[in-house]
Structure 1
Amino acid sequence: MIETFAALLLAHALADFVLQSRWMVANKRRPAALALHGLVVLVTAAAALGRIDAWEVAVLTAAHVVIDAVKAHLPRGLARFLGDQAAHLATLIAAAVLVPDLWAGGLWARLDWAPGAMALAAGLILATRAGGFAVEFLMAPLAVEDLPRGLTGGGMLIGMLERGLIFLLVMVGQPAAIGFLIAAKSVLRFEVSSRDQRAGEYVIVGTLASFGWALATAYATLALAERLPAVGLLPASR
């Protein structure tokens, strides 16, 4: 069962946060965009499981499309994003519980390390890419209009890198090193924070949200990986 969930989680992370284009997101109310995204969901799930003969994958895809269709008619924001992802996660768990042998019947079932690797890959995507959307939605109502401008897309890239580093540090059993990352970012942002209290608070809230998301995702991934065959990349003491 847990192997099936790991495979479906990676498929979901890829379909929603790697392979879903901006056009799909912007046109989710249009049947063509929704159908194309559904096709991506179907293909990634089949590929992750290593099988195309399971009708349950089609049912899971249909559920994904229905959830997205409902989401498209709700106001944008953090609540919609979290609710959407929670609904998708619930369908993945339901599929793994109701059809636990989906993984066992696939091409990759003989690869003992594959489910653990899939869990780690899914966790990294959710920490970096999904975390970026979550932080963006959280910070949107707090936006400071006269905040000094930096490189185009620089803030997004910094956020992805810091969440990725936090994820990796937790995975290798070195969470204490995250303190140095916090200190380094505090030093680099000190000038902006000291000149404008609003900008300083904006940076602090965004940083704490980004770090918190990365930590939560990393430890959730670690808990999942511990229930799967060892990949060989994590510390033996985990």
Structure 2
Amino acid sequence: MTHPEVAILLGLMLAHLCGDFLFQPRRWVDSRQRHKHVSRALYLHAGLHGLLATLVLALAGSGTGMLVVSVLVVAISHALIDLGKAHLDPSRLRWFLLDQLLHLLVLLGVWLTWLGSLQPLIEVATWMATPPVLTLAGAYLLVTRPMAIAIALAMRPWSSEVSDPGTLVAAGARIGILERFLVLTLVLLGELTAVGFLLTAKSVLRFGDLRERNDRKLTEYVLLGTLLSFSATLALGLMVRSTPWSG
């Protein structure tokens, strides 16, 4: 793929982000949610996306026929996807992510049609099947649920001795996953000093709460879990970096 070809895809995505988040008033969202297919805002929003796609494809030098068809596909599909979303619970993250994924798939289809080739998809699939990418994907997957379960099992002998920690339900597990994501990323980037700062920052944040509770067992339990999480992720990151294809 050449840089101009990739620039067109990025331009379409940028136009989508501007249309969905920068140029869309909140009242349009509310109107679409309340009035569904009779909402004027639904069609104004779809038309805006069509206009933005027109600007990108016109700059790319698309022919008139290709331009018209692509813009209609973008506008009509956007209206249909948003209409479907209007019938779902807007507070659920899954529907927001699905909505954005469908829009991006449409833009990808428009871009591939504009290129007249599936070669970009073949190149991406080939790249994703390489050892470095598969190793990174495996490492990031490991620090999510698999490592959370392993740490929970390792901590089980002491969990019964700890009183109610007084935290949000499942918040600790999610914090741990995000924490391990950060640690793994920093290790892979060779920023081990930053890992130390992250550990220190978490310790400072937790110190006040634990001191107020005056529960030594809880303090030791949290400290043990934190060190176990950091150590396992640090070891995993160093193992990934030591692979022959890590560079």
User: What band does the TM-score fall into relative to the shorter chain?
Assistant: 0.3 to 0.5
- Which of the two has higher C-alpha Rg? 2
Q: TM-score, normalised on structure 2? A: 0.45
